[in-house]
Amino acid sequence: MELLRGRIRDYAWGSRIAIAELQGRPVPSDGPEAELWLGAHPGAPATVDRDGSPVSLTELLLAEPAHWLGERVVGRFGTRLPFLLKVLAADAPLSLQAHPDAEQARAGHAADTGRVNYVDPYHKPELLVALSEFEALCGFRDPAESAAALAAFGVPVLEPVVAALRTGPAGLREAVRLLLSWPEAERAGLVAAVLTADVAGPDAVLARSLAVDYPADPGVLVALLLHHVRLVPGEAIWMPAGNLHAYLRGTGVEIMAASDNVLRGGLTPKRVDVDELLRVLRFEVLDEPVVAPVAVAPGVVTWPVPIEDFALHRVEVAAGGPGVRLTLPGPRVVLCRVGKLAVDDGVGTVVLGPGQAAVGTAAGGPLVIGGEGEAFVATCGLR
């Protein structure tokens, strides 16, 4: 194992406390810190030390792919790390967004020569595990519930949207299309009409909260078509391709397929390509967006997902014990969340404190994690 130094992304919605506090730096930080990237994505690759100088993990993978990734991973994903591990810290809502599936990403990237929507040919399913109380929008809820929520505002111009939703899942596409195609000049009035309605309840609270930052964005109403979930630490949300979602606030560990393909659907000043979003979205009800951890060994849990790009495990190590041994294939990235942990893959040992990470190659043996604390281990999902 080797020490891995991640990169912090300073998006405006980021926290000035969470990541700095995790890493033991002074708080608040000088500016927003939204995500700590621990991987080889070209947008912000992590580094390892070579002769006293930082070297991009991306460069190392390209130089020795078989050593770092292993033959199976190279055969399946090519000479790139197929997953990206992050710490995400949201102090304000992120945009409503969805990601293409693998076939859509390949075709979209080939056709999108201007790289407007598809910057790479890869899909981007995501799993987020809450480290704090975490609030998110995730997947379409029962359209009948959404119809009732919008009808309660008593805004006549919303009647076509309500009527579409009352037809069931088949009407979701039309409801989303109507809202996101709302005439630009009328959007502020639409949101204002909803906010001034004499309505109570969680849907009104959510709409009013989102409208603080986006007073003329129809995404405020699209948000009411989705599950509004509140995770406790250890719970997760799984976001497959075509699933409309948004993080609202909280801190979590996120793992995803290494892609940057994002189609936005509101709650953003950035471009919303309505036609392409409608083509990518899955207009079906997501029955259960929350994923509970599954124990796989003493002190080890995972959140099973139906893809090969990544797997995520949480390891809790008790003081004075023998440590935890994990046999996981391919390259491994280990993030220490609390405590002091020694991570050994038979090639090298790294001692990690909170907020520090290590990376090991496919050439390493089983992981042995000792000391006391908690770690997240990211690997490929190949078995």
Helices in the chain by DSSP H: which ranges?
Answer: 18-22, 57-63, 65-69, 71-77, 102-111, 143-151, 159-165, 172-180, 187-195, 202-213, 219-222, 274-280
Query: Which tokens hold the place of 53?
Result: 């100088």
How many other CB atoms sit within 10 Å of the CB of residue 54?
11
Instruction: Count, in order, helices (H) and strands (E) of the chain.
Output: 12, 22
| β-pair partners for 256 | 84, 126
Residue 264 annotated among the catalytic residues of the structure = yes
Q: Which entry of 264, 314, 332, 337 is annotated as an active-site residue?
A: 264
Asked if 70 and 362 count as a contact pair (C-beta separation under 8 A), the reply is yes
Angle between helices 187-195 and 202-213 (to 10 degrees): 140
Can you name the residues that pair with 221 across neighbouring β-strands?
none
Q: Tokens 């009411």 label which residue?
A: 224
CA distances from 348 to 1, 57, 153, 331 (A): 5, 17, 61, 14
Q: Which of 333, 332, 315, 336 is nearest to 324 (CA)?
A: 315
Q: Residues with Cβ < 8 Å from 209, sequence gap 6 or more?
A: none
Torsion of CA 48, 79, 383, 323, to 10 degrees: -10
- Please give the positions annotated as active site: 264
